Structure 1
Amino acid sequence: MRAPRLILPLAVALAVTMTPMTGRAAADPPPRPRSTAATPTDRLTPGATPGPGIVNGQPASYRDHPSVIAGLRVGGSGPQGASCTASVVGKRTILTAAHCMIDVAGEKSYVYGDDDLTTAGDEAFRTRVNKYVTHPEYRQANDWRKGYDVAVVTTQDDLPVPQSQWARVAGSGDAALTRPGRTGTVLGFGKHQQGKLYSATLPVNDPGGCQVFDVSVNGEVMLCTGYDDGRTGICSGDSGGPFTVDGVVVGIVSFGAGTCDRYSIMARLTNAMGDWAKETIGQEPGEGTFGVGLSPSAGKVEPGAYISTTVTSQAGDQGPEGLDLSAAGLPAGARATFQPVRVNAGDTAKLTMETAASTPKGIYKITVTAQNGSGGAKTADYTLTVGDGGGTEGPQVSVSPASGTVQRGGLAQATVTVTGGSGTSRLSASGPGLPISPFFNPSSVGPGGTSQVMIFAPFTPGTYKITITATDGASKSGSTLYTLTVR
């Protein structure tokens, strides 16, 4: 009798074995035993030996699938800690599997814009998790066995995906998309291809014919896709990846066989579970439909003097909602005063920028932000020239926060602000003991600009001093220190 095969909620690729075909008819093989369910992580179940590659899968790119994003965790077994796959569904919102958040330990983060995680530093963006919400029926580890394997994740930073490219999520009105016989596409950063993004085409099956596991495939909350003959399948590491039909995410990779040779089971979204996901996604702070501007949007002042401009606002669909005003990017010694500091959309305010005698000469970009009560924000820029704008002092650099504490191999993140200098400043960072150079997004900023720095912690505990440097167009430099504590 064949040994039971293990399964595992997926977190990776699409692999299998192929059986040679002969020209001679053969007797039907005996029924295969049910596979035993295993804890759904990005690690393969002990004893499982999946095939070496993807069958009927093909390399994919975020350029063709702009909403796909890779999930990492400290301790994850894939390249850079790759653990799961997910979909961008909002400006700071990601849709993935609940077991990616609850069933595995380790600080979690996301990487965007890289099809191959085997080389660090060539991604477009990194961010950490701010919070997550799992479906109310997914209460503890291993609840993927009963379904409801869906989570909505909020990131710490805005994701670099325009709204027009956010993934579309199915709901109860889209049941026709998951009728047996439909065909969809699954995406994942799979282990079998060492953290490279792959896709595969899988059919939707009647769940009644997919009862091959010791976990019941509940068609109310699960989709049974793929094949039971090792032809194509998902595997440990693809968890949370999207299964799309007609461009709509109808399922989320949940579990399957540890040897990747049985059906691929998705959390189903063409039901009330999808309605829950869409409602939860909609609770993210919105962009707001109001507008903000500055008149004039540029001005020149001598050190020690002040200059004023008018903040204009336009009401949106919410009418004259209250807007809180703030300014960032001011040069050293300068301050901004709003009169009033809070306006109703449609009203105006006076902004006065007062410099000090010690304020360096230069050209600065001042960003004025108007924020509504639900977290939606709009910005407008003011170009402030101090003195002749030339500046001989070079750029000034600050970092906030100025220190951070992470676990070994973790990710620290801070905001770098550059003021003064001549033209655009190029950012760099260095420090003894770092495994790879810190990454900036963007890598260059103008006067008054900001950038996010991502610092990958060493695996040796200790305190590390990291020098962050800005070099302007005149080759003048300014630096500041960031202190990283690794526990």
Structure 2
Amino acid sequence: MRTPRFAVAITAALVTVTLPVLNTTAAAAPPDKVSVAANPTDQLRTGDWGTRIVNGERTTVKEYPFVIAGMRVGGGGPQGQSCTASVVGKRKILTAAHCMVDTTGAKSYFYGDDDLNTPGDETFRTAVASFKTHPGYTGSGGWRTGYDVAVVTTVDDIPVPESQWAKVAGSGDSALTQPGKSGTSLGYGKTSAGGGSGELRKTTMPVNDPAGCQVFDIRVNGDLMVCTGYNDGRTADCSGDSGGPFIVDGVVVGVSSWGSSACDRYSIMARLTNAMGDWARAEIGGTQPGDGKFGMALSPSAGKAEPGKHVSTSVTTTAGDQGPEKLELSASALPTGTTATFQPSSTVDAGQVAKLTLQTAASTPAGIYKVIVTATGTSGAKTAEFTLTVGDGGTVDGPRPSASPGTGTVPPGGYANATITVTGGTGSIRLSATGLPYPPSFTPQTVKSGGTSRMTVMGPYQRGTYKVSITATDSVGNTGTTTYTLTVR
């Protein structure tokens, strides 16, 4: 008998814990196994945790002077440690929304301590005066759908110099969360089933294409989340890391949001290289510490055009600390037959505004496209996304899934496979299913029209016949279903 793994909001620290599945050998999580969403991890019972420590290394507040420990009455870590956060202003802290909404108990912050196991070592502690969660956060459990970011205002000034505040990413920094980048995750947290370590730790994890991270029963939404880490348990965020920073090139590009309760799969961050980061920066107020580079943003960041028509947006640039520099503008990932024109020129000085016009062709297929706008200067490059909708965004009839074979027979707890083929639909098509205690897994979970996926189902332990309803949802919300019959003997 196997025990299902659970996906959870990560409310306790960076030290990575791999949990065995009813045995003492912690093997890599099978790629076709689905992790089921559950409650925030610091609310799980101690007996639910394994004891193997996975990577991560000790670090100090001196090395990362903006890191601060989130505490709450009843928190599972030493002295009530529950979350991790970043100092971003004189009285401002950046963390995950679920750290403020989904957990009970009065909340406060400790600063300056590398190890919370020895009370009294902190140089500063303060209570929470108020906090704001992103308007898109839907309340308790909202981390499942995204917008898991909050800005906290403290009662007292935090003793961190402005030059050492964490720098928060915005919509002009989308290149920092492109797949292939690598970043550092920080946090205080559990190293064993016995409780939280309370030690400040760090680990390095890659940024992954979200399409390859669909191993949970809730969707990893690449527009709102960053999928980091690995699927084999070598390192991950864990209970107590929630709200902690994920840093790429010295910039906080995400806050630790959720993952597997076993801490053995991908770690999902709330993405800040988009409008969420812009919101956080506005709530923080003031100016962000300079990085010597220019800035770039699109206004608007989305638009619609019928085939053969055009749509425009403004490319606004700002000079960095080193002053104006020449920027070369370009656009990529254009749909078929579409051209991009910058006016008055594709070469501008940082601080100037250019008009970008996307001209579609009569033959451009209807759909929703992510156009990448890039500005390149002597100090580096910045990218931003423009969401282009062509026509009605896709076909009217929606995707049509089919299963081959359409039936399967297994013993209690056994596994069966089927190939799911999808035709029709627009853009990326996500597969899901209902009708079983443990949702089937799909490899891959997202396909294009004409693509196939392997579905793996686990038979319930109660014998009988089960109707599995398979749903395909395309990028514009159209759906189609088919049925797979599973017999457990």
TM-score bracket relative to the smaller structure: 0.5 to 0.7
Q: Distance in 2 between matches of 1:241 and 1:30?
A: 27
Q: Residue in 2 aligned with 1:15?
A: 16
Instruction: Please list every run of 5 or more consecutive structure 2 residues that lacks an aligned counterpart in the other structure.
Output: 21-27, 288-489
- Counterparts of 2:128 and 2:61, CA distance in 1: 21
Mapped partners of 1:71, 1:175: distance in 2: 28
Q: Is the 2:14–2:203 contact (alpha carbons within 8 Å) kept by the matching residues of 1? A: no
* 8 Å Cα contact 1:5/1:34 also seen in 2: yes
Name the TM-score, length of structure 2 as normaliser: 0.54
Partner of 1:177: 176
Task: After superposition, give the CA deviation of every residue in 1:226-277 in whole Å (9 maximum; x if it has no partner).
Answer: 0000110111111000000000000000001111101000000000100000
What is the match of residue 71 of structure 1? 70
Within the candidate set 208, 211, 226, 2:229 is matched to: 226
Q: Is 1:251 aligned to 2:250, yes or no?
A: no
Aligned residue number for residue 82 of structure 2: 83
Deviation sequence 1:70-98 (CA, Å, 0-9, x none):
00000111100000000000000000000
Q: Residues 49 and 248 (structure 1 numbering): CA distance in 2 closer, same or farther, change over 3 Å? A: same
Query: SS at 1:194's partner residue?
Result: strand
Alpha-carbon distance in 1 for matches of 2:61, 2:247: 15
- 1:46 CA drift (Å): 6.7
Give the one of 248, 266, 271 matched to 1:268.
271
Aligned AA (1:14): V
TM-fit CA distance, 1:283: 6.8
**Offset from partner CA, 1:327-366 (integer Å, 9 cap, x none):** xxxxxxxxxxxxxxxxxxxxxxxxxxxxxxxxxxxxxxxx
Once the two structures are superposed, the pairs formed by residues 278-297 of structure 1 within 5 Å of their partners are 278-282=281-285
1:334 equivalent in structure 2: none
Assess if the C-alpha contact under 8 Å between 1:72 and 1:82 holds in 2: yes
Correspondence for 1:319: none
Deviation sequence 1:95-122 (CA, Å, 0-9, x none): 0000000000100000000010011111
Deviation of 1:204 after TM superposition, in Å, equals 0.2
Q: Is the 8 A contact 1:43 1:236 kept in 2?
A: no
Sequence identity, in percent?
Answer: 63
Task: Output the CA distance in 1 between the equivalents of 2:29 and 2:275.
Answer: 40
Residue 161 of structure 1 is matched in structure 2 by: 160
2:4 is the alignment partner of 1:4: yes
Give the letter aligned to residue 209 of structure 2: D
Which SS does the other structure have where 1:8 is aligned?
strand
What letter matches 1:101 in structure 2? M
Separation (CA, whole Å) in 1 of partners of 2:60 and 2:275? 31
Q: Distance in 2 between matches of 1:171 and 1:90?
A: 16
How far apart, in 1, do the equivalents of 2:142 and 2:252 lie? 22
Residue 437 of structure 1 corresponds to none
Q: Which residue of 1 aligns with 2:126?
A: 127
* CA drift at 1:40: 1.7
Counterpart-to-counterpart distance in 1, 2:158 and 2:60: 17
Q: Distance in 2 between matches of 1:30 and 1:131?
A: 42
4+ long deviations beyond 6 Å: none
- d(CA) in 1 for partners of 2:55 and 2:235? 6
Give the Cα separation in 2 of the matches to 1:218 and 1:35.
Answer: 16
Superposed displacement of residue 3, structure 1? 2.7
Q: Cα 1:33–1:58, aligned 2, differ >3 Å: closer, same or farther? A: same
Q: Take 1:219 and 1:168, find their aligned partners in 2: how far apart are those partners? A: 22
Residue 6 of structure 1: how far off its partner (Å)? 1.2
Cα 1:261–1:10, aligned 2, differ >3 Å: closer, same or farther? same
Shift of 1:17: 4.4
Which residue identity lines up with residue 264 of structure 2 in the other structure?
D
Cα distance change on mapping 1:180 and 1:104 into 2, 3 Å: same
Change (3 A) 1:283 1:104: farther
Aligned to 2:381: none
Contact 2:17 2:238 in 1 (8 A): no
Structure 1 residue aligned with 2:34:
34
Matched, 1:277 2:280: yes
Separation in 2, partners of 1:8, 1:96: 16
Matched position secondary structure for 1:208:
helix
SS in 2 for 1:184: strand
Show the counterpart of 1:241: 244
- Counterpart among 183, 208, 212 of residue 215 in structure 2: 212
Is residue 2:204 matched to residue 1:201?
Answer: yes
Distance 1:18 1:41, change over 3 A: closer
What is the alpha-carbon distance in structure 2 between the residues aligned to residue 50 and residue 150 of structure 1?
Answer: 29
Instruction: Quote the Cα distance in structure 1 between the aligned partners of 2:30 and 2:148.
Output: 33
Q: Over aligned residue pairs, what C-alpha RMSD do you find?
A: 2.0
Q: Contact (CA 8 Å) 2:29, 2:231: kept in 1 or not?
A: no
Contact (CA 8 Å) 2:61, 2:67: kept in 1 or not?
Answer: yes
Distance 1:272 1:45, change over 3 A: farther
Match of 2:7, SS state, is: coil
Aligned amino acid, residue 226 of structure 1: G
Q: Shift of the alpha carbon at 1:194?
A: 1.3
Q: Structure 2 CA distance, aligned partners of 1:7 and 1:169?
A: 26
Secondary structure class of the residue paired with 1:90 = coil
The answer (yes or no) to whether the contact 1:16–1:231 under 8 Å persists in 2 is no
- 1:370-410 CA distance string (max 9 Å, x none): xxxxxxxxxxxxxxxxxxxxxxxxxxxxxxxxxxxxxxxxx
Distance (Å, rounded) in 1 between the aligned partners of 2:41 and 2:106: 15
Q: Which amino acid aligns with 2:3?
A: A
* Aligned-pair CA distance for 1:164: 0.2
Structure 1, unaligned stretches of length 5 or more? Answer: 20-27, 285-487
Q: Distance in 2 between matches of 1:3 and 1:42?
A: 19
Q: Residues 82-101 of structure 1: matches in 2 within 5 Å?
A: 82-101=81-100
Amino acid corresponding to residue 115 of structure 1 in structure 2: D
Letter in 1 for 2:163: S
Secondary structure in 1 matching 2:8: coil
**SS in structure 2 at match of 1:168:** coil
Instruction: Name the count of aligned residue pairs.
Output: 275
CA contact under 8 A between 2:225 and 2:270: conserved in structure 1?
yes
1:8 Cα deviation after fit? 1.6
Q: CA deviation at 1:15?
A: 1.8
> Are residues 260 and 208 of structure 1, via their aligned partners in 2, closer, same or farther at CA, if it must alter by over 3 Å?
same
Whether the aligned pair in 1 keeps the contact of 2:190 and 2:197 (CA below 8 Å) is yes
Q: TM-score, normalised by structure 1?
A: 0.54
Q: What amino acid is aligned across from residue 32 of structure 2 in structure 1?
A: R
Check 1:91–1:5 CA distance in 2 against 1; reply closer, same or farther (3 A cut). Answer: same
For 1:233 and 1:87, the matched residues in 2 are separated by: 19
